[in-house]
Structure 1
Amino acid sequence: MNQNKNLVLKIALLSTCLVSASLNAVTGLVPEMAAAFPTVSLSTIELIATVPSLFQMVGVLGEQFLAKKLGHKGAMLLGLLFCAVGGIVPIFLPLFPVIFVTRCFFGTGCGLLMSSLLTLIVTFFDGQTRSTMIGLNGGISGLGSAGATFAAGLLLAFGWNVSFSVYFLGFAVMALVLVFVPKASNKDAAPAEKMEKKGSKLPLGLWGLGALMFTSVMLATMYVIKASTLITDYGYGTAKEGSLAITFLSLGSFAAGLTYGKLRAKLGNLTLALAFGICVLGFLLGGFANSLLPVWAGAFLLGYGYLIFMPFLQEQASRSYGAYGETATNLVLVFQSVGAFVTPWLGNLFGLVSGDLKVQFFMTAACFILLAAAAVWQSVKSTRQNHSSEIANA
């Protein structure tokens, strides 16, 4: 397939990011929902933001099975249906148990979308085009998250449950995919993906990538679920302005998606260290903040770093372990989902040290400093090994 020919295909595929990225659109509603459900603990209400991440894992793992029956396009359409229906039900049934269950459906749909999208990108594109598409995946996700979060904030004036109306977008994207995305066949697959190792034991390096994805996503999601609470608890603004923090985070993600390809080509493995360093700055800004602007600026930086390290690790799995086919990318996606899900418990763990949110932000920044140092060490080690190999082969 000529991947440079069909611009509409690229648009249709990337439009699915708008839906999966809107997962965090209602995160800024946590304070409003806490007021609406006073008998439910805050950590349980925060699960509304993170429980979809756990069920993303279900969707990711189930996509391969569904793809055998429906094809990757069919799995993508089913994921969109789950997101659309699971997203809008709370408008009509604003009950906490109902919301919790529908968020599980939404997460499953997101998992199906994430796995099928990466598979179709790898199937239809290769080389620099593939890297660009993976980067744009993050960029469009940031744009979709920003737009959906901003819209949810505006709709908050009509009631917190009305904010879930943003998920009607899923039906529009379904129509786009149905018309413009073809069914993938084996002959479309890039050569590297045609040779999948069957029954082979997964290498430790791949598990290491998964563990790194888990840790970094878990830490980064602290800003996602705590920024709105930080703003309202310290009196910097209202829940609506807290929701805007997620919008700025999403704008940072959009900027990251536009620049990821160039950064990856220029910095190589140091790209990961840069991403972690930017996350450090984001959390420090949030921790030292005494007004709205530093919190918003920190959110932008965190979003930028987040959507640099995430596609980097996804692409690294594909590049280094492509012989394991979809298993490699799906494993990393599973760790990504679980990392986001467990973040409220990380907050509880940090809370044992200090109940001050700012201190918790500083603790998260310290963790990212360790990750950045490890990434620099690994990059230097890899460069030295490559240099030694070149000398030996000379």
Structure 2
Amino acid sequence: MSTQNPGLAAAFSLLAVACLTIMVGCVVVPGLPSIAQNLGVASAASWLVTLPALGVVLFGPVAGHLIDRLGAYRMLCAGLFAYGLLGVAAVALHGMWLVFANRLLLGAATAVVMTSGTALISAFYSGQDRLTMIARQGMTIELGGVIFIALGGQLASLGWRWPFVLYLFAWLMLGMVLCCVPRPPATRENPQPTAQARRLSATLKTVYVLALAAMTIFFFAVVKLPIHLHALGYSEPQTGYFLSFISLVAVGAAFVMPRVVSRLGNFSTLAVAFLFFAVAHGLFAWVGSTAWLLLCCIAMGTGFGLSVPLVNHMTVENSAAEVRGRNLSYLSVAIFMGQFLASFSDFLPGPPTLALCIAGAASVVVAGSIGVARGLFAPGATR
């Protein structure tokens, strides 16, 4: 049941805001070589994609503190304005120091948007309705990746500056929030935290570790798969189709995630997600035919759709209202830290298949650890 039903327009606006979290890096991906050259960072082009993630890691806790102090609604509006301004401002900059500082600050704005958006969902919804909304949020994030990568590619064909126009979608969403999303009651949005509420529970710490593991393992494939597929003879457009298919599968998995959780429980569902990751990475490393690779994509997308929206819900579920912004910001740090750590897979020796095998083995270890810790393999255990 909802704690204060904000209406369909408000729900749509809050879900639309979620697109910006994945859009922050993927907008520049299709035209990355040309964009990096014109910004004067050709020797470190990949950092244009990964630095916003580092910005979330560095500024996430500050964002969470401000959300708990000033309110999620106010901070979401400020974050959306800053996101659009910082995103489009990069076209006027040149050189590593200015461009990279801009990308880090864009990551800070992303942390505010991501955390405050989820905090508002948690303020308006509770119970099964909240889980459903957070599942839809995960679906929206993945759909946003598909849509904005496609739009970024089309705009990049017009000129290197054009993809940055997409960041101004944040201002459109700011207007939607101001027009359609009501303010939560002040007593619900910004109460004073108690000493017990400030303390992170063992469950929350476990959720953060699992979120970090899920994103690191998932992005191992994102980083290594293009190289591996190129070695197998697949073209860049075909590689893009595979990655987009993973996102589409993740949308479907996020849609059914609430029903899976109702049958298996939170931690059992996470264990299943890591088993899907294990299957995907293992097969990616050993198969080469299109049919088998599509099966790998299904397993990878299922693992993502069952895990990332769920850790969002579990964080909200295990957080007192007065520290929800802070706890969600810690989750954002864990998620984007995983994305950032995956970029260091480039330093692993050997072919890309070795990194994929390592990620697959790690997935099995994590799934087994969840099972042992939670008694999932005991008769009748479901949680």
Q: Which residue is equivalent to 1:361?
A: 356
CA contact (8 A) 1:30 1:46 kept: no
CA contact (8 A) 2:52 2:107 kept: yes
Task: Kindly state the Cα deviation for residue 144 of structure 1 after the two structures are TM-superposed.
Answer: 0.9
Task: Kindly state the Cα deviation for residue 125 of structure 1 after the two structures are TM-superposed.
Answer: 1.0
CA contact (8 A) 2:3 2:123 kept: no
Q: Percent identity, please.
A: 20
Q: Which residue is equivalent to 1:330?
A: 329
CA contact (8 A) 1:29 1:160 kept: no
Distance 1:76 1:208 in 2: 27
Distance 1:188 1:69 in 2: 12
Alignment of 1:235-250 (within 5 A): 235-238=233-236, 240-250=237-247
Distance 2:193 2:241 in 1: 44
Q: CA RMSD in A?
A: 3.4
Q: Which residue is equivalent to 1:207?
A: 205
Per-residue CA deviation, residues 226-268 of structure 1 (Å, 9 max, x unaligned), is 3334344554112x44444442232233222212211111221
Task: Kindly state the Cα deviation for residue 64 of structure 1 after the two structures are TM-superposed.
Answer: 3.8
Q: Which runs of 5+ in 1 are unaligned?
A: 388-394
Distance 1:245 1:125 in 2: 35
User: Structure 1 residues 164, 232: closer, same or farther in 2, change over 3 A?
Assistant: farther
Higher relative contact order (CA 8 A, sep 6+): 2
Per-residue CA deviation, residues 14-43 of structure 1 (Å, 9 max, x unaligned), is 110122221342474487369949x9798x
Distance 2:29 2:242 in 1: 8
Most deviating of 2-11 and 358-367: 2-11
1:251 aligns with 2:253: no
Distance 1:144 1:334 in 2: 20
Q: Which residue is equivalent to 1:377?
A: 372
Q: Which residue is equivalent to 1:274?
A: 272
Normalising by structure 2, what TM-score?
Answer: 0.84
Q: Which residue is equivalent to 1:392?
A: none
Alignment of 1:282-361 (within 5 A): 282-290=280-288, 298-322=296-320, 325-326=323-324, 327-348=326-347, 351-352=348-349, 354=350, 356-361=351-356
Most deviating of 64-73 and 248-257: 64-73
Distance 2:298 2:164 in 1: 23
Task: Kindly state the Cα deviation for residue 45 of structure 1 after the two structures are TM-superposed.
Answer: 3.3
Distance 1:126 1:22 in 2: 27
Q: Which residue is equivalent to 1:78?
A: 78
Most deviating of 18-27 and 111-120: 18-27
User: Structure 1 residues 49, 301: closer, same or farther in 2, change over 3 A?
Assistant: farther
User: Structure 1 residues 133, 198: closer, same or farther in 2, change over 3 A?
Assistant: same
Distance 1:226 1:169 in 2: 30
Distance 2:5 2:54 in 1: 36
Most deviating of 138-147 and 375-384: 375-384
Distance 2:128 2:91 in 1: 42
Q: Which residue is equivalent to 1:61?
A: 61
Q: Which residue is equivalent to 1:390?
A: none
Matched position secondary structure for 1:325 = helix
Per-residue CA deviation, residues 52-93 of structure 1 (Å, 9 max, x unaligned), is 122113443223443367531121122222322333334455
Task: Kindly state the Cα deviation for residue 147 of structure 1 after the two structures are TM-superposed.
Answer: 0.6
1:260 aligns with 2:257: yes
CA contact (8 A) 1:24 1:145 kept: no
User: Structure 1 residues 179, 168: closer, same or farther in 2, change over 3 A?
Assistant: same
Per-residue CA deviation, residues 107-163 of structure 1 (Å, 9 max, x unaligned), is 112110121112111211111111111111101111111111122233343345533
User: Structure 1 residues 293, 313: closer, same or farther in 2, change over 3 A?
Assistant: same
Letter in 1 for 2:215: V
Task: Kindly state the Cα deviation for residue 97 of structure 1 after the two structures are TM-superposed.
Answer: 4.9
1:10 aligns with 2:11: yes
Matched position secondary structure for 2:45 = helix
1:114 aligns with 2:114: yes
Normalising by structure 1, what TM-score?
Answer: 0.82
Distance 1:91 1:74 in 2: 28
CA contact (8 A) 1:59 1:111 kept: yes
Letter in 2 for 1:370: V
Q: Which runs of 5+ in 2 are unaligned?
A: none
User: Structure 1 residues 167, 228: closer, same or farther in 2, change over 3 A?
Assistant: farther
Distance 1:86 1:174 in 2: 15
Task: Kindly state the Cα deviation for residue 314 of structure 1 after the two structures are TM-superposed.
Answer: 2.6
Letter in 2 for 1:77: C
Task: Kindly state the Cα deviation for residue 203 of structure 1 after the two structures are TM-superposed.
Answer: 3.5
CA contact (8 A) 1:135 1:260 kept: yes
Task: Kindly state the Cα deviation for residue 219 of structure 1 after the two structures are TM-superposed.
Answer: 1.7
Per-residue CA deviation, residues 347-369 of structure 1 (Å, 9 max, x unaligned), is 32xx23x1x11221122111111
Distance 2:194 2:184 in 1: 20
Distance 2:284 2:99 in 1: 29
Alignment of 1:123-162 (within 5 A): 123-159=123-159, 161-162=161-162
CA contact (8 A) 2:229 2:239 kept: yes
Counting matched residue pairs gives 377
Distance 1:35 1:2 in 2: 47
Distance 1:163 1:17 in 2: 19
CA contact (8 A) 2:6 2:181 kept: no
